[in-house]
Structure 1
Amino acid sequence: MNGSVKQRGSTWSYRIDLGTINGKRKQKEKGGFKSQKEAKQAMQLAIAEIIQKGELKESKKITLNEVFEEFILYEAPITRKHATIVRYQSLYNNHVNVFGDIIMSNIAANDLQKFITSKLIDDGLSNDYVKSIYNFLLVLWKYGLKNKYVLENVVEVIKPPKAYRSTSEIKIYTMDEIKQIWHRIEHTNNAHAFMLALKLGLRIGEIYALRWQDIDFENNVVHINKQLQKQNKKWCFTTLKTPNSYRKIYFDGELKKYLINLKNKQDFDREFFGNLYKSNKILDKTSKIEELLTVYDFVNCKDDGQMLTTDSCKFISAVSKSDLNIHFKMHNLRHTHATLLLEKGLNPKYISERLGHSKLEFTLRLYTHITRGMDEQAVEILNFSLD
């Protein structure tokens, strides 16, 4: 670290060269010392303090491409889920790699601000999507800062777009629509997943991961402890979305009868097919040690035991649109489930826990159409006179 002293008029000052940060030279200066000796002593103390506090670090000359590859190879597999890693790779390849060949420490906040703004205005991407790019940049720069590839996280000083979770694609199905779809699919392999989504409000991966061992018929409880995902062309049991996603869900008597009948049918099919009954190889990634499982007891399977997957429910979307002119998404049954409960006055906190949401605020924000109705009910309830 270089420093120098200089006389200015009747006093002396020192200047310490801190090096280049984000392409700009950074220095520390202080003046007003009575003598050259006093200025030098103060400069030496300042240098010692800077080094002790760790304020001076030399950034490594590494491109953003190299940082991203290192992050994806060595940190992401430990700290992120597979789906998140795939999303990061898509965001980088489709957008962020315009900075790929630039030394990371030379990318300034102004460069990133222009980039974010252009994605929003010039490319016409949604606020939510551009916010996801911004959040990904935060991840990369936090990694870079931790490994001393940059001296500061410049992403933190840029202004991201205001993000809001869009509810425009959320559709709540009417009971008439539910019945129409049900009558169309009730004799197909996909009927069971439809029923579970409607009655339990499960996510798609949770539905197709269900095994009979997860269902407690004595207490009418389903234990949600894993999800089914396709990773690297293999079907896997993986951990759930958030810690709150691990939950138990109570079910009604009608669903109990439905599930018992389904299990009895599958037991019959297993005996009927004998050695021809399919075994399903699933990579269990729910613990630190991965294990290849042979699974015979999927709740959702074909007559011969072959597992159904998250791809299977595309059939319901196709026939709903072609035969019934109803635009169907499996996930919207989860929203319909929550709406039915909210409309009956159940406590939103309970519903949030039943759905496995991480925060109650998220549940209330997602179902603003219900809270608006509650406002109207509240006004009506309080519309009385004390005369």
Structure 2
Amino acid sequence: MTVLHEKLRGKDTGYWIIQCTNPLTHKRTTIRRNPKTDAKFKTKRSAQEFELQFLKSSMDLNMKFSGLFEDYCNYLEVHKSGKSLIDMKSRYNRFFVHLKNKKIVNIRESDMNLIVRDMQSNGYHSSYINTIITTMKILMNFAVKKGYINNNPIANYPKLKVAKTNDDLKFWTPEQMKQVIESIPEVYKTAPDVRQIQHIIRFGYFTGMRYGEIRALRWKDIDFNNNIININNHISKHNTERAGRKNGDYHQLVMDDDTRAVLTEIYENHKKQPEFTNDCYVFHSATRGPYFPLAATTGNKYMMKLAEANGLKHITFHGLRHSHASYLISIVGLSEAEVADRLGDTVAVTSKTYAKFFNQARVRAANKISSHKLGF
């Protein structure tokens, strides 16, 4: 890697130098003059231009994939969370380690093809394979940014098409939800926020709202007088609050009795706090306070622990949305249009996503009709 230094003191005051380390020999080199002209680098631009030439003529041709990976990990240690580094090392050891001795200038789309085919043969889901494709692109983009290569050779590598089927929909039945809710006091008996855990799991199931929408919900969005929840914003997994929902504009949700009861209970507790205002988050961080939303990973952590404690299949927090839809279709008996309106989706998307549930409802309807034979 190279480091550009500006205006050093002493005899070279006012001039730029280039310091670089060979990733193979780890030998450190300091360049103070252009060896072709013997001229010092008076401007940053002149130093950068020579630096790029130097990289192309030496480091670019020698750096192996393992060196690039080590360089990127060093970057993650400084600029990203610890989880990012752990995830990167795990993916490297599982999918990229066979490339460690390959020079990065020789990386081609064919290398990505081999990784994808191997993952497919081992039964990895297309969505996770796409994650690995993205990871490889990130690494090669980093190589371009550092000047190790001119272009990312897999920049245009296409992701796999992910076709969701009804078999992909993981959900809990109302009976399982009741079991989970009742287990929370015991599962989280040492946690300071047991009630909040119950509240957010119940709320997610009663409304079918996405986790990012729930995280962004503030008391000013709750209209108790008109029984309306205004979904005006969502928070991404990268903790960026954005207007509207994940897939479109804002949405209004009319509260049913169960949803209103949960929100009323939370509101009665929150308004007693001296720092309470309508700008407080409905579901806020237990450690940072009412003006900070829940962490991006909190909801899924709750779901995983509760699934294990109750011996149920693992579902993500988004699985509560599917559980809610299943309940509306299979138990309540709402139509496709009514379910779509409740979830804030189009009828076409709702019909396709929950086709299995609607087909089951249609079969039950036909059986009910059959039980009342007209006799003529």
Q: TM class by shorter-chain length?
A: 0.5 to 0.7
SS in 2 for 1:110: helix
2:6 corresponds to:
none
2:11 corresponds to:
none
SS in 2 for 1:249: strand
Question: Contact 1:215/1:221 (CA < 8 Å) preserved in 2?
Answer: yes
Consecutive unaligned residues of structure 1, counting only runs of 5 or more, are 1-59, 78-82, 280-293
Partner Cα distance (1:363, 1:250) in 2: 16
Determine which structure has the larger strand proportion and give its number: 1
Does 1:221 find its partner at 2:237?
Answer: no
2:24 corresponds to:
none
Partner Cα distance (1:120, 1:114) in 2: 10
Question: Which AA in structure 1 matches 2:281?
Answer: F
SS in 2 for 1:222: strand
Distance 1:382 1:135, change over 3 A: farther
2:204 corresponds to:
197
Question: Identity across aligned pairs (percent)?
Answer: 19
Q: 2:217 aligns with which of 202, 210, 226?
A: 210
Instruction: Give a deviation string over 1:322-347, Cα, whole Å, max 9, x none.
Output: 4x544564332211112233443433
SS in 2 for 1:226: strand
Question: Contact 1:247/1:354 (CA < 8 Å) preserved in 2?
Answer: no
2:336 corresponds to:
347
Consecutive unaligned residues of structure 2, counting only runs of 5 or more, are 1-55, 186-193
Post-superposition offset of 1:85 = 11
Give runs of aligned pairs for residues 357-376 of structure 1, distance below 5 A: 363-373=350-360, 376=363
1:259 corresponds to:
263
Distance 1:316 1:212, change over 3 A: same
Partner Cα distance (2:69, 2:95) in 1: 16
Q: 1:297 aligns with which of 250, 260, 280?
A: 280
1:284 corresponds to:
none
SS in 1 for 2:280: coil
Partner Cα distance (2:153, 2:299) in 1: 47
Partner Cα distance (1:222, 1:154) in 2: 40
Give runs of aligned pairs for residues 1-387 of structure 1, distance below 5 A: 61=60, 91=91, 94-96=94-96, 98-99=98-99, 102-104=102-104, 106-121=106-121, 125-134=124-133, 149-150=150-151, 156=157, 163-165=162-164, 168=167, 170-185=169-184, 188-219=195-226, 220-227=228-235, 236-239=239-242, 243-244=246-247, 246-254=249-257, 255-268=259-272, 270=273, 274=274, 297-300=280-283, 306=289, 309=295, 310-311=297-298, 314=301, 318=305, 321-322=308-309, 324-327=310-313, 329=315, 330-343=317-330, 344-347=333-336, 351=339, 355=343, 363-373=350-360, 376=363
Question: Which AA in structure 2 matches 1:337?
Answer: H
Larger Rg: 1
Question: Contact 1:145/1:152 (CA < 8 Å) preserved in 2?
Answer: no
Partner Cα distance (1:317, 1:378) in 2: 35
Partner Cα distance (2:135, 2:89) in 1: 10
Post-superposition offset of 1:370 = 1.8
Question: Which AA in structure 2 matches 1:112?
Answer: M
Count of residue correspondences = 286
Distance 1:118 1:155, change over 3 A: farther
C-alpha RMSD of the superposition:
5.4
Question: Contact 1:206/1:226 (CA < 8 Å) preserved in 2?
Answer: yes
Partner Cα distance (1:338, 1:365) in 2: 13
Question: Contact 2:229/2:253 (CA < 8 Å) preserved in 1?
Answer: yes
Distance 1:127 1:265, change over 3 A: closer
Partner Cα distance (2:111, 2:287) in 1: 58
SS in 1 for 2:150: coil
